[in-house]
Structure 1
């Protein structure tokens, strides 16, 4: 495994792997400015001291600490590590429908590790993986948590729950191939309240951190059945009630308006996509505190030429209403958490969504940044350790050469990534870049 975490140099970027004792050695960061709490005014020149993977001190000015490793970011802005609440590490836009006929679990694990590495190096120190088949992602999460490999902190759902033949239950192959590669119980398909509750309990039994359901059809699934409601009201209620009784939140893939509304009424914690969100449901989400994860880059990963006629039609219609979900969220003050659908869109390019949130919301750059830090941490239930730079929290931080409150696209060019107090990526700061 050591070969996987060996430090390498990529195009002049130093990508550092953990070394013995690094997590115990104090790290002193001299920053030109620090956004400690996104949404609040940045601090000026500041020293942040990290010990044992946590933020230990935040001191005005640039001070030294004996025996500490120093990171010079005097020409940069330091801010909390970014959080993407909707990724799929086990696949990418290039993954083929028949991949399970070729790929082993080991192949998937290594591929997922590669995608996780790209994501971490892009400044996303925490993710929520909301739908990866099998248990390769469980293994990756656990390996990251115990320090075997370096990657973003992962909260996962495992396989999504869906109706038989719905989005999440594989189709598009002949019957024999489908049954061989994607047996019924493997895909998370369920029928009726009792079986859907059983699937939730199974996911919890085998280590899920949350439950992901597909309440409606999907844009990229092969069926030509549209994007309407799939799981019944009774099934939705059973899933949510069971998950909440086990301390698990429920994320609902939902495109069509009826399915979005039914999911909100059932009490899901977040609506993923919400493509056809309407005014009435937006008001209900705001009143109930339901989160929106807008995945505005959902259609970036595929062109119409790559898709079947059924998928082409759904893509064209979704593009027609693109951005309505985020505009309604801003208008009605719905809680928004940053999520890109990386896997459907390219891994490592997650930060491209920030400009879409600002252009389509329109969200302010400050609000867009909050959605990927403070607010995303709240959706994860991890506000005590993630989302801000405060004493006692995990030392997950990134740096950019400038002020992201003025130019959100700076987050597409992260110069430094620190996770758990370990320097993952560090390029020499441009001391003229900070004003």
Structure 2
């Protein structure tokens, strides 16, 4: 395999993951299998021309390469829009003792995030939504990547999720003075305080608001997986966020919390593990997106019965495993809009692409529908369909080439041969003509 772009100034060495500048000349990516819009048509020969961070032309396979462009021959690899993961936690890794929260620093979390951002990019994901981190860690990572200091996907970050006191997202099971030291200022009680927390998050630089609308599987509290916020609190969060131009993502497992969040106007339901058909109808009517995160359950299943989780968490994890994929299958049949998301951080970063096969095998989605959820679908959910999600002139040069046909084999999306993020190539298994 060739792990670099020969004779090209825009080199990002795969072995070291070293960030580099944009190409000093246009690049023409040629393939016998171009799938510019995963929602329609089949792969066909074509060439994508990139100049700087944008796509400037999409040409049929027989068209000549523009004068001055450097040709990259991807052979029979399927060239797709860069993939989008709508639910990650870049600054954390799975499997650690929850008490490490009291030991590891925010600075260390940013270093972990840099490692995971590179792994995520290598997996073909060029945009991610980071929905839960330390107060400023994901913002620092986002900005460093955007400025070209680190290789990684485009990051849309929420910072810490808003939580009720003592709920999922709050600091639990520490001595009071330790909890006070670890407090992120992300809990609220009552509509006025919840509105204030949204404004504070916006002031710190949040791109969206994340809330924990229900209990969570991995939090150290045994108060179930149902509704957390009151209707007035939920309304205050959503209305305040909207006034600031921010969408709201709602972590929600239990049906009561999912129903309240959807009725309250959140943009996305994260997980949606135990939602009812009635709640699905509400989501469809409201246009609420489901971000299913089946890989999160895979991460739980991989660790069950191994004394990794506390008894409290183990019981909740087993309940989630029993429902694995069922809600997504029903929601897809009910016409709920699906945006791809994995919960990377609950499992190892870089395995994001394994979600596609789970969507097909556990929930009965077609390979095309699963792929659309991670391209045009997720782009529409983010309100970025004019910039990402398909290959077209004027859009960001976010591109991934895979071995095989993702329209028939979802595991093809784990066989990555080339990645380009905003015009910066990361890895290549191709021939470049001089």
TM-score if structure 2 supplies the norm length? 0.93
What does residue 243 of structure 1 align with? Answer: 241
Q: How far apart, in 2, do the equivalents of 1:164 and 1:332 lie?
A: 35
Aligned-partner Cα distance in 1 for 2:196–2:355: 36
Distance in 2 (CA, whole Å) between partners of 1:9 and 1:351 is: 19
2:362 to 357, 360, 363: 360
Question: Is residue 199 from structure 1 mapped to residue 197 from structure 2 by the alignment?
Answer: yes
2:321 counterpart of 1:319: yes
Check conservation: 1:82, 1:373, Cα contact below 8 A. yes
The residue aligned with 1:93 is 94
The farther-off stretch of 317-326 and 391-400 is 317-326
Query: Can you list the C-alpha shifts for 1:164-184, whole angstroms capped at 9, x where unaligned?
Result: 01000011222222222x22x
Deviation for aligned residue 1:403: 1.3
1:261-272 aligned at under 5 Å gives the runs 261-272=259-270
Scaled by the length of structure 1, the TM-score of the pair is 0.93
Partner of 2:5: none
Separation (CA, whole Å) in 2 of partners of 1:343 and 1:172: 21
The separation in 2 between residues aligned to 1:416 and 1:15, in whole angstroms, is 14
- On the 8 A contact 1:15/1:425 being kept in 2, the answer is no
- Mapped to 2, the partners of 1:285 and 1:81 lie a distance apart of 27
Between Structure 1 and Structure 2, how many residues are aligned? 417
Aligned match of 1:274: 272
What's the counterpart of residue 173 of structure 2?
A: 172
Corresponding residue number in structure 2 for 1:291: 289
Q: Contact (CA 8 Å) 1:15, 1:426: kept in 2 or not?
A: no
The list of structure 1 runs, each at least 4 consecutive aligned residues, that deviate by more than 6 angstroms after superposition, is none
Q: Is the 8 A contact 2:19 2:148 kept in 1?
A: no
Are residues 1:35 and 2:45 paired? no
Across the aligned residues of Structure 1 and Structure 2, the Cα RMSD in angstroms comes to 1.6
Of 41-50 and 85-94, the range deviating more from structure 2: 41-50
After TM superposition, give the deviation of residue 260 of structure 1 in Å: 0.5
1:65 counterpart SS class: coil
Cα distance, 1:78 vs structure 2: 0.4
Deviation at 1:329, TM superposition (A): 1.4
Equivalent pair of 2:86/2:339 in contact (CA under 8 Å)? yes
- More moved, 315-324 vs 238-247: 315-324
Do the aligned partners of residues 343 and 258 (structure 1) sit closer, same or farther apart at CA in structure 2, a change above 3 Å counting?
A: same
Q: For structure 1, which segment, 95-104 or 408-417, has the greater mean C-alpha deviation from structure 2 after superposition?
A: 95-104
Structure 2 unaligned blocks of 5 or more: 1-9
Measured in 2, the distance between the counterparts of 1:324 and 1:386 equals: 30
8 Å contact kept, 2:12–2:426: no
Equivalent positions of 1:363-402 (< 5 A) are 363-402=365-404
| Conserved 8 A contact 2:12-2:425 | no
Deviation at 1:125, TM superposition (A): 0.2
Q: C-alpha displacement at 1:316, in angstroms? A: 1.0
1:393 and 1:264, CA in 2 relative to 1: closer, same or farther beyond 3 A?
Answer: same
